[in-house]
Each structure stands twice: as structure tokens, then as C-alpha cells.
Amino acid sequence: MESRPHYILSIDVEDYFQVEAFAKDVRRADWEQWPSRVVDNTLRILDLCDEYGSKATYFVLGWVAKKFPQLVREIHARGHELACHSFWHRPVYQLTPAEFLEDLREARGVIEQTAGVRVVGYRAPTWSITAQSAWALEVLADEGFAYDSSIYPIRHDLYGVPGAGRFPYEVQTAGGRKLKEFPPMTVRVLGTTLPAAGGGYLRILPFWYTRWALRRMAQVDGRAIVVYLHPWEVDPEQPRIAARAKSRFRHYTNLKRVEPRLRSLLSAHRFESFRQILEP
């Protein structure tokens, strides 16, 4: 008998002013000066998950966890998985291995101490584990992480590893450790790997494409169909940041459409966390 596809919902818990698109316009030293909206926006997604009976993995930014510990505890209390999204939202390929390790330990430590749970999953900011920064997988494995979800098997100006696996696979590190890799959802069209069902692709591309891609993925391989988004994407009223036109387009396009689209996805599929499908 054919097994039921696993639909995984993952939320990158960061605020609207912390995204890489605005890194040149908003200094990390000034984050405290911006009005935060991450708590209310994350609660909106938590409420939607409750309404439709789905669970998710919340990759929490360490800075957010430290500033809003009650949010971390609320995510855990509602039965969702807590995972790590770095502390300062710096692309991994801009860090040295030592800097990455320091950031990783700081972020994981504050999440674990706040919620009293073990964090075993990681997602790099801006999908920034690339061929240039593949060494980060060794660090994650050495630190006892069970899985990573940072490698996007597409071509993009900021990230991506073209030709990387599209379905979950195991990474064997040079040190002999193993790490499970969960790529975000993609589809193959005319020999090209295309992104689907996450972040800006969920917002900007036609919703019929998202629905078609989900059906296509389920037919080809249903081990783990990974959908992702950010709390700021359900917030069309967020403050506007003066930035380059390209960054503004990527960040603000179709924000009003995200919550209805998320509702549609939640009503059509029962979503799980990474932890749920990793547990025997």
C-alpha cells in the first residue's frame, strides 16, 4: 500500500526588519529601535495551526527567543517543535567556522533554556548553506543536531546548490557523523528545478502553481514535502522600509494573499513538524 505523503510546515521566526533583503538598510545594532511585530504575527500562525489541527516546526531566531521568551514557551506549549534559525540572521557563507559555531551555540542555548527542550533541527538564514559553506554541516553534526533544512537545490542570486538532492537524504560527514537533510519543496519542469510552496514563491507566484506543485510532489515522492513561511508574511500592515526596488518587491508583494493561501493549504493537508516524521 502506498504511504501517505508527509506535509511539513516550517516557520522561520524572525521580524520584518531582520530579513537579509534589508541587511544593508537596517543595521543589526539598530534592531532594538524598530517596532517589533513578531510575537503577534507568530501567534496568528499558531492560532491557524490550532484551528486546522496541524503542527509545525518553528525555526526561532536566537535574538527573538532572548527578547521574547514567552513566545518560545507558547510555541512549545501548543505542541510544536522548536528549532534553531541562528542568533543574528547572518548568512553562513559570510562567517568563519568559529563564528558560525559561536552563533549556533548562543541561539540554541537560549531556546533550550527558555523552553526546557532539546533543539535538534537547524535552518540557516537565507538558505545560506551553499557549496561555499558546506563545512557548516560538519559543525551541525558535531554539535549533535539530527537534521538540517538549509540547502535549496535551485539557482538563485543569494543562495542555492544546483543539482543538490530534492528529497530528504542523509549527509555523511568527514568525521563519520550523520545528518538528515530536508530540502524545501521543488518541482522539475523541462529539466529545470523550480522552487515552490514557500516564502516569496508562495506569495508572488500564482496559487494554482503552488497547488499543482504540491500534487506533483506528492505523486513523485511524499517522504517530506516541506512548506515554509515567515511570520511577517501574514502582516500586510507592517512598516515599510526604504530599500532597493528589488528588495521591496521580494518582501512586500502579495502580503495580503498569504493568510488566505495558508488557510487553503491547512484545510487541504494535515501538516506535521520535522520531529514528528523523524520519531519512530
Q: How far apart (Å, rounded) are the C-alpha atoms in residues 12 and 83?
A: 9
pLDDT for the residue 2:
47
For residues 18 and 21, give the distance between their C-alpha atoms in angstroms, rounded to a whole number: 8
Task: Please provide residue 69's backbone torsions phi and psi, each rounded to the nearest 5 degrees.
Answer: -60, -30
Q: How far apart are CA 266 and CA 159, in angstroms?
A: 28
Q: How many residues does the chain have?
A: 280
Q: What's phi and psi for 236, nearest 5 deg?
A: -70, -15
- Residue 269 phi/psi, 5° resolution? -140, 150
Which of 134, 143, 198, 137 is CA-nearest to residue 163?
134
**Ordered alpha helix ranges (H), 81-144:** 97-115, 135-142
Residue 174, number of CB atoms within 10 A of its CB = 9
Per-residue b or e along 209-226, where b marks 16 or more CB atoms closer than 10 Å to that residue's CB: ebbebbeebeeeeeebbb
pLDDT at 168: 93
Q: Which amino acid is at 62?
A: G
Residue-level pLDDT at 8: 97
Give the separation between CA 226 and CA 163, rounded to whole angstroms: 18
For residue 3, the model assigns a pLDDT of: 62
Q: Quick one: which of 237, 232, 229, 236 has its CA closest to 262? A: 229
**Euclidean distance between CA atoms 237 and 70, whole angstroms:** 23
Rounded Cα distance, 270 and 4, in Å: 11
The DSSP H or E segment spanning 208 is helix 207-220
H/E segment holding residue 193: strand 192-195
Q: What is the pLDDT of residue 260?
A: 98
Question: Per-residue confidence of the chain (280 residues) as pLDDT tens digits?
Answer: 346 789 999 999 999 999 999 999 999 999 999 999 999 999 999 999 999 999 999 999 999 999 999 999 999 999 999 999 999 999 999 999 999 999 999 999 999 999 999 999 999 999 999 999 999 999 999 999 999 999 999 888 788 889 899 999 999 988 889 999 999 999 999 989 999 979 999 999 999 999 999 999 988 866 789 999 999 999 999 999 999 999 999 999 999 999 999 999 999 999 999 999 987 5
pLDDT for 1: 35
β-pair partners for 271: 7
Rounded Cα gap, residues 62 and 139, in angstroms:
18
Minimal CA–CA distance to 160: which of 133, 187, 140? Answer: 133
- Strand pairing of 121-122 and 147-148? parallel
pLDDT of residue 102: 98
Tell me what pLDDT residue 280 has. 57
Return d(Cα 2, Cα 271) in angstroms, integer.
18
Alpha carbon 255 to chain centroid, angstroms: 17
- According to CATH, what is the number of the domain 7-278? 3.20.20.370
Using an 8 Å Cβ cutoff, are 101 and 138 in contact?
no
